[in-house]
Chains A and B, each alone.
Chain A
């Protein structure tokens, strides 16, 4: 299996191509959804974690600790992939207006696609890392991470954009509100 950072880069690249095809305005709708989702996940993660533990608490005799981590990882990954599916499937989320044409449209579409790829793939990597890479059949493990991969962990979306910037709130919230404001006032 390729190193996780290569896997991550390929997924982002694919999303970039998708962004060129779908267009900047439609991709921005997905970005809006993911900014809110990631803010929600980062803000309420301790509560979600506790809730999941209570729901899945079948006792250590039945559910080993590693299975608990695996299930929690799957829940978060499912939420992210499900949200991505719904966002990419729908049309309502697309921003209105005339899509930029020519090289500007291609560049903006690619940039927004890459951004969405970074948000989606980066979040999945974040949760895999948080729960100790329980999806071993993918070939990823904590002890197999390259120095580059370890270095990149600090730039994953929830880590990098989730840093508090103003009034104790993370950049995710402000970016999400800015995108929402742009969606509403246009």
Chain B
């Protein structure tokens, strides 16, 4: 068995580089929007999750009631009583935490989308470098929020089934699927290359005659 020990700086470095490269491409204006979004997400995600959890459980129960026939079913009273006896969708601190994680991811994704749509990209090297730095900061904030959830213990041991990885990579089914993906890419490329120029997509009518 091969043992690799990864220092905390390497982990932070990888996260920082990943977010930094994204920031480099997007520019500082967009990354500032993300920074605000991440800050809001860190503050509000747990609170929103706790507030939304009872409603989520109610709607889950309503959905299951509807799927079992609802009010038009054979015996709606019994169906509803049976559902009341079942465990809710979200119960316990762990479920609420997962919901909070989902809310966090949603807010951050929204921040990325708003930044992408409303702000201009990096138009020069200075804005790109500032975007890189801002991206690193965003990565730091995201890592700070996720680390206690992903790594709750003092040491995390990640076991990689290397034999299974090799077997999967060398499997004929995997190779066939990769070939299929390549075919799809080539077909998509061919269709994109074959598109008409914009002025020929909707040819103008000649009104002079």
Contact = CB atoms under 8 A, between A and B. Distances in A.
- What DSSP secondary structure best describes chain A's contact surface? helix
Given A104-B190, A175-B184, 14 more contacts: A24-B194, A25-B194, A28-B187, A95-B191, A98-B194, A100-B190, A100-B193, A100-B194, A108-B187, A154-B173, A155-B176, A171-B180, A178-B184, A186-B191
B51 interface: no
Contacts of B191: 28, 95, 97, 182, 186
20 contacts: A28-B187, A95-B194, A96-B196, A97-B191, A97-B194, A97-B196, A98-B194, A98-B196, A100-B194, A104-B190, A107-B186, A108-B186, A111-B183, A112-B187, A115-B183, A155-B172, A161-B180, A178-B184, A186-B191, A186-B195
A85 interface: no
A99 interface: yes
Nearest to B189: A108
A154 B176 CA distance: 11
A7 interface: no
Interface of A: 24-25, 28, 95-100, 104, 107-108, 111-112, 115, 154-155, 160-161, 171, 175, 178, 182, 186
A154 to B, nearest CB: 8
Given A155-B176, A160-B176, A111 B194 contact: no
Given A155-B176, A160-B176, A24 B190 contact: yes
A121 B187 CA distance: 20
Contacts of B186: 107-108, 111
A36 to B, nearest CB: 16
A99 B183 contact: no
Contacts of A100: 190, 193-194
A165 to B, nearest CB: 10
B68 to A, nearest CB: 21
Interface of B: 172-173, 176, 180, 183-184, 186-188, 190-191, 193-196
A107 B193 CA distance: 13
B187 A104 contact: no
Contacts of B194: 24-25, 95, 97-100
A161 B191 CA distance: 22
A97 B195 contact: yes
Contact of A104 (B172, B180, B193, B196): B193
Nearest to A118: B183
Contacts of A96: 196
A167 to B, nearest CB: 16
Contacts of A161: 180
Contacts of A155: 172, 176
Contacts of A95: 191, 194
B197 to A, nearest CB: 9
A24 B183 CA distance: 13
* Residue in B173, B180, B184, B190 whose Cβ sees the most chain A Cβ within 10 Å: B190
A100 B194 CA distance: 6
A69 to B, nearest CB: 29
A186 B195 CA distance: 7
Contacts of A107: 186
A182 B188 CA distance: 9
A155 B179 CA distance: 12
A176 to B, nearest CB: 12
Nearest to A112: B187
Nearest to A179: B187
6 smallest CB-CB distances across A and B, nearest first, come from: A97-B194, A108-B190, A100-B193, A24-B190, A97-B195, A182-B191
